[in-house]
């Protein structure tokens, strides 16, 4: 298991599987937590793990090839 508590915005976006713009939106809405350390923005690994754990699972394909959430 990774023992890092923070990571760069670029690494966090890669870990979540989204682009930088989407990650910044997730940070702006409070879904992912980041801290400023000097000029650097560091994303809390714990908040990434919590975000992914709380996200709905993609389970199958519905009509027209759209994904169906398991909580729908």
All structural domains of the chain with their residue ranges: 6-57
Q: Which residues contact 26 (CB under 8 A, 6 or more apart)?
A: 16, 18, 32, 51
Cross-strand pairs, 43: 7, 34
CA nearest 50: which of 30, 24, 25?
30
> What DSSP character marks residue 29?
T
pLDDT in tens, 13-69: 999 999 999 999 999 999 999 999 999 999 999 999 999 999 888 776 665 666 556
pTM: 0.74
What is the structure's pLDDT at 66?
A: 62
């Amino acid at each position: 298991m990774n023992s890092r508590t923070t990571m760069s915005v670029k690494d966090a976006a890669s870990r979540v599987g989204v682009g930088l713009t989407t990650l910044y939106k997730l940070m702006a809405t409070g879904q992912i937590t980041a801290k400023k350390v000097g000029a650097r923005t560091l994303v809390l690994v714990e908040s990434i793990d919590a975000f992914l754990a709380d996200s709905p699972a993609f389970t199958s394909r519905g009509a027209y090839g759209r994904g169906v959430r398991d909580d729908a």
